[in-house]
Amino acid sequence: MSRLLRSAGAVTLATALCLCTSTGPVLADDVPASAPTTTTGPPETTTSSSEPPSTTTSTPTTVPTTQTPESPSTVPSSETAVDPAAPRQELPDLQLTVWFGKPSYLGHETVTVHARVTNVGAVAEERAVITSTGDLSSHHWGRFSSPGEGVEPGQTTETSATGTVTTVDDVLRLVVTVHPAGAGQDANPADNTVSVSVPITFILGNFRGTFYGDRNGNHVMDSGEQLAGVRVHTSGGTPFTRRETVTGSAGGFEFTGLPVGTYGLGFPDSGWYVAPPNVEVDGIAVPDVLVRGTPRVDASLRASLAFERQAYQVGDVAHSVMSLTNTGELPLFELTAECSVNWDSGPSAVDTGPLTPGGPGVTLPAGHTQTFDIAVRVTENAYAVGYLQVDCETGSPPRVNGSVRTTAATRVPGGVAIRVEGALLLFKSKPLLGLPSGTSLPGVKVYLRDELSGAVVARAVTDMSSRFNFYDVPAGRYRLGVVGPWVIVWGGSVLARAGQNGPPPNYQDLHFVLPGPYQPDPDAEPPSGGEPAPPPGEEVLAQTGADVAWLALGGLLSLVTGAALVRRTRPARRR
């Protein structure tokens, strides 16, 4: 009976050990790796800074609050005791002298400040730095600016700073200091700082002007074109000055008491395009400027561009129609267009007729639409890529008063790309500069969709290295399509050139995706639903909280322990 009980007990103990060992790691996985370890020593004792330390003797198990000087774990003091009998350390001793280049300055003149540094100490200063404060536009002291200049014992050296005054005060005051760089020390800091000043005389001047809107485009201020109640601001001069005013009933404005110099003008809320002149204020003459405003092109011009035919051959003159519409209430004057062609350059590549840049341009009345012929000769470059594209910018002139963009494309058929090679990767990361990185995506179907017609022209499946190849593709522009739960986040555009595109590393051949909505196969019915597939190469683990390695190890230990206990019962059975 006792043998039977021992056998049963061994089996029971083995089972319990198996259960405990197997479930232990599951529970352990719920504990964060950063959880603190519990100590068995006494708790740390803290003393409030507002109370004196206790003088009670500590028990042997308590961490002592004081240590004897002989203790090897004593932390040395951060302060070093000074021996009064020890010789004083030798230090450099810098002296500073500062003076202006002139006894007085006009407010618009450049001010020069000189500085002389002498080391009267017995030790060299490796890096002496001069700094200054005050109403000067620059505080750069040449070689004595950071990181500094070395000064040997007995050496005297000079430098200077130049700038203009930044206020209208009648005195310029500066505080200049020379000091050792970093944590260096000077034997006598009292003679390292100097305060200096110099009188400043300002010459003030005025200017006035009139602002008008050129409604008929004749470049003349006609009756009724003066613009009243428009905010005007000016800025410039020395020191730099900003002022603002509003035009009067006749469009006039005036600025007075300005430091001499060059001033610009702005009319930010007028609703007109303005190219105002610069105004020179010298304190003697009073300039009177006439400022012309013209209707803003980008506010009212609408443009479109389309080729007359869907395809052209090399040597043909491809004609496209540009349509311009003025939706505003005022005419648009002197409109021109700058056009360019893909893979070709030069101003003669596109003939824009009356819209040619540099010419008089055209006038487009309010509420009217006009069309213009845009012509370009088809070249071998267009044949190589399978299409011809013209991009135009229209304005008065373009990129100055308006930049209305239009584009049109047409086919140049005949070219064939023998092979178009690329790679599809699962996006991982991208540095600030350079290409992204990713992991392989084998077995994914990809296809090419023509950008002009929308037709799918080629299909492929990525291989084990994530590469794909399309063969005998008509030259042209395409978008790469991906079948499955993916969205393209980098790349996606494919240019097939006549001939063989060749292998990477061409950045246009790399395409990166992330998991996203399911993209259907254009050659089959879309899936009926279900969960998106996990990214290839990743395993989906059951959410048990247990690590597979812990479970395997626990099971092995339980098996060995159970076998040993059962074996121990067998000799007793033989007796």
Per-residue pLDDT tens digits for 320-343? 999 999 999 999 999 999 999 986
Stated as kind and residue range, the H or E segment containing 122 is: none
pLDDT of residue 535: 45
pLDDT at 22: 43
Cα angle for residues 546, 551, 557 (degrees, 5° grid): 150
Which among 297, 292, 293, 273 has a CA at the least distance from the CA of 402?
Answer: 297
pLDDT of residue 503: 53
Gap between the Cα atoms of 385 and 475, Å rounded: 5
State the burial class of residue 230 (Cβ atoms within 10 Å of its Cβ: 0-12, 13-18, 19+): buried
Secondary structure (DSSP) of 72-138: TTPPPPSSPPPPTTSPPPP---EEEEEEESSS-EETTSPEEEEEEEEE-SSS-EEEEEEEEEESBS-
pLDDT score, position 343: 65
Mean pLDDT of 8-36: 43
Instruction: Identify any residues that bridge with 519 across adjacent strands, giving them in sequence order.
Output: 484
What fold characterizes domain 311-411?
Immunoglobulin-like (2.60.40)
Query: What pLDDT sits at residue 147?
Result: 94
One CATH from 3.90.1640.10, 3.40.605.10, 2.60.40.10, 3.40.50.300 for 204-295: 2.60.40.10
Superfamily of domain 416-519: Immunoglobulins (2.60.40.10)
> pTM above the 0.85 mark?
no
Q: How is residue 525 written in tokens?
A: 């019915």
At 438 the pLDDT is 94
Same fold, 204-295 and 416-519: yes
Q: What are phi and psi of 564, to 5 degrees?
A: -65, -40
Q: Which of 32-41, 276-285, 372-381, 469-478 has the lowest mean pLDDT?
A: 32-41
Selection from 392, 386, 311 nearest residue 351 by Cα? 392
Cα separation, 531 vs 529, in Å, equals 7
pLDDT at 106 over 70: yes
Residue-level pLDDT at 348:
52
Q: Residue 7 is which amino acid? A: S
Q: Which two tokens stand for residue 408?
A: 């049109």
Give the integer Cα–Cα distance in Å for 199 and 106: 9
pLDDT digits (tens, 9 = 90+) for 174-203: 999 999 998 889 999 999 999 999 999 999
- The residue with greater pLDDT, 82 or 135, is 135
pLDDT of residue 6: 53
Q: Please report, for the chain, the start and end positions of each structural domain, with discontinuous segments joined by +.
A: 1-28+541-575, 94-201, 204-295, 311-411, 416-519
Query: What whole-number distance in Å separates Cα of residue 122 and Cα of residue 317?
Result: 86
| Burial (0-12, 13-18, 19+ Cβ within 10 Å), 232 | buried
Quote the pLDDT of residue 16.
46
3-state helix, strand, coil split of the chain in percent (to 5) is 15, 40, 45
Q: What is the DSSP letter of 360?
A: -
pLDDT tens string 107-122: 999 999 999 999 999 9
β-sheet bridge partners, residue 196: 174
Fold designation for 94-201? Immunoglobulin-like (2.60.40)
Token representation of residue 335: 């409109």
Output 248 or 558, whichever has higher pLDDT.
Answer: 248
pLDDT at 480: 97
> How many residues in the chain?
575
Kindly indicate the confidence band of residue 89, based on its pLDDT and cuts at 50, 70 and 90.
low
The answer to whether 370 and 301 have CB atoms below 8 angstroms apart is no
* Residue whose structure tokens are 């991009």: 391
Predicted pLDDT of residue 145: 95
Q: What is the pLDDT of residues 519-574, one digit of tens each?
A: 999 987 544 443 444 444 433 333 333 443 444 445 555 444 555 544 554 444 43
| Token couple for 73 | 């774990």
Contact 45, 56 (CB under 8 A): no
Average pLDDT over every residue of 18-47: 39
Averaged pLDDT of the chain:
81
Reported as type and span, the H/E element at residue 39 is none
Taking 70 as the threshold, does the pLDDT of residue 204 lie above it?
yes
Q: How far apart are CA 464 and CA 457, in angstroms?
A: 24
Q: What is the pLDDT of residue 557?
A: 52
